[in-house]
Amino acid sequence: MNALDISGSDGSATQQAYRRLRHLIVTGDLKPGEKLKIEVLRKRLDTGASPIREALSLLTSDKLVDRLDQRGFRTAEVSAENFQEILLLRRTLEDLALRESIANATQDWEENVVLAHHRMVKAKGGDDFEELHKGFHMALIANAPSPILLQFCSQLYDLNIRYRYLAGSGLNYQLRDVDEEHASILQAAVARDADMASERLFKHYQLTGAYLAGLWGEGSALNAELFGNKN
Amino acid sequence: MNALDISGSDGSATQQAYRRLRHLIVTGDLKPGEKLKIEVLRKRLDTGASPIREALSLLTSDKLVDRLDQRGFRTAEVSAENFQEILLLRRTLEDLALRESIANATQDWEENVVLAHHRMVKAKGGDDFEELHKGFHMALIANAPSPILLQFCSQLYDLNIRYRYLAGSGLNYQLRDVDEEHASILQAAVARDADMASERLFKHYQLTGAYLAGLWGEGSALNAELFGNKN
DNA sequence: AGAGGCAAAATAATCGATATTTTGTGAGGG
DNA sequence: CCCTCACAAAATATCGATTATTTTGCCTCT
């Protein structure tokens, strides 16, 4: 790669393709269940077939893409059951991780959490809010001495935001006082109060879940996305 | 693929390579941290570079292989911490899954559990005991309405048996009365007694963990495997 | 008219070769 | 004597084309 290449492209062609495809899927640009033809993607991303293929393999690990034995790839289907499962697992696993993280609290960890929160608040409404929001949640649990658990949480987080985008992004997401919820979790975590932090995180998820589940019930746009076009 | 091809090879070259590499890694034939050179593996498995590459990508999802940005692949490292984490996560997640599985018990499920147990007992000492043992454990939790959770359990199971092989297989594994442990779990599950099944499963893991951890303490062969050759 | 099967097209999987990157080695300078 | 830089060798990543598989459309036969 040329050293002068300015585009946000670090890493190999595979990595680029991975990030771009991931974004297309998470944001719903590539629809659930849509067939992913190598040739089409190759042209769209202007790269070779090998990087595409490898990127799709990587996305398979993230459960964003399904591989059909000799019939290529397609984006993972979505369903109410899948959504509920993700929500439930997140609550369980992040609670677990949060408790372990606080149990092993250090000053470094605490400062990172504060920073992550600050950055998230500052970026409210911005383009990279989503990323920073994840950053905050991951920072909270980052001190759990359990890399595998953390990776599960990260993966579930990504699966979840896909549903958020399918539900019409987080546009009117701020109806609730999410800021206050975040702040109170931060405060409990910094105070090393695992029970309180856990309780507040749990409530945060409960509300988020109710919010998104609500979009389901009312003949919403989400249903169209979910069951409309499966070309 | 030729229709007359008799070898246990269904599926694509990639799938074959995946299964064979997976076996080589889990059984310790490919040592922890060992560099996986495409060219070497290509010759060893007598296939092309592309299938090898894709198989390694798939194994990355299973956490059996690490991908180093532009420096190829190597088998995942092992460590006492990693082992303990796997053990702990398995206990937590399988307990969760078991309770959900029993809560949704059906006759089909019950019969599958009984069958899986029978097959495992029958195969004691046989070549496919390992596979059937996993079959039993997965059958227990299979009724949990949570495919993602089940997949986490399956993955953790595989990571765990890798350590068992590294500890010198399960040769003298039968010192404990594992049969009795399994039977008692089966009995509790069939009786729909979630608490008792959970308690017995937990104890089963505790004993297994102690057994394997014991191999660690005493200047064992495991340490040699773990810290000996990292070529 | 419908079912079944054959042929053609589309698509995925695989291969062989090329380009890029990393790693190892040795000479020159501090 | 050690460190740094440049070059050479090795290995990986990527490309373009070939091969194998699946799907689609059409035709025949009942």
Between chain A and chain B, the number of residue pairs with CB atoms below 8 A apart is: 54
B54 and B102: one domain? no
Looking at the fold, whether B55 and B166 belong to one and the same domain comes out as: no
Q: Confirm whether B4 is domain-assigned.
A: no
Same domain, A71 and A84: no
pTM reported for the whole predicted model: 0.89
Question: What CATH number is given to the structural domain containing A102?
Answer: 1.20.120.530
pLDDT at B10: 57
Domain containing B46: what range?
13-75
**Which residues touch B58 (CB under 8 Å, ≥6 apart)?**
A57, A60, A61, B14, B18
Could you tell me if B87 lies within 8 Å of chain A, comparing CB atoms?
A: no
Q: Which residue among A70, A85, A145 places its CB closest to the CB of B148?
A: A85
Kindly report the number of other CB atoms within 10 A of residue A218's CB atom. Answer: 9
A152 vs B58, B81, B152: nearest CB: B152
Q: Are residues B52 and B30 in contact, defined by beta-carbon separation less than 8 angstroms?
A: no
Contact across the interface for B148 and A69, Cβ inside 8 Å: no
Q: Does some domain include residue A17?
A: yes
Contact B223, B80 (CB under 8 A): no
Please answer whether residues A145 and B81 qualify as being in contact, where contact means their C-beta atoms are separated by less than 8 angstroms.
Answer: yes
Chain B residues 183-222 within an 8 A CB cutoff of chain A? none
Write out pLDDT tens, residues A168-186: 755 455 567 888 999 999 9
Q: Are residues B123 and B165 in the same domain?
A: yes
Same domain, A133 and A204: yes
Pair of tokens at residue A9: 């492209």
Nucleotides in chain D near protein beta carbons (<7 Å): 11-17, 20-23
A38 and A95 housed in the same domain: no
Domain final residue, candidates A75, A99, A127? A75
Q: Considering its fold, how many domains does chain B have in total?
A: 2
Same domain for A139 and A28: no
Residues B185 and B206 in one domain: yes
Are the Cβ atoms of A85 and B145 closer than 8 angstroms? yes
Which tens digit of pLDDT belongs to each residue from A205-223? Answer: 888 877 777 766 554 555 5
Nearest by CB: A58 against B11, B57, B88 = B57
**pLDDT tens figures, B1-55:** 333 333 444 578 999 999 999 999 999 999 999 999 999 999 999 999 999 999 9
CATH number, domain of B35, equals 1.10.10.10
For residues A106 and A67, membership in a common domain is answered with no
**Cα nearest neighbour of A90 on chain B:** B149
Residue-wise pLDDT tens digits, B162-181 = 998 888 755 455 567 888 99
B54 contacts chain A (CB < 8 A): yes
The reply to whether A148 falls in a domain is: yes
- Do B145 and B116 lie in a common domain? yes
Tokens for B191, please give them.
Answer: 């009786």
CB contact under 8 A, B85 and A147: yes
B81 interfaces chain A, CB cutoff of 8 Å? yes
Task: Specify if A22 maps to a domain.
Answer: yes
Alpha-carbon span B48 to A93, nearest angstrom? 40
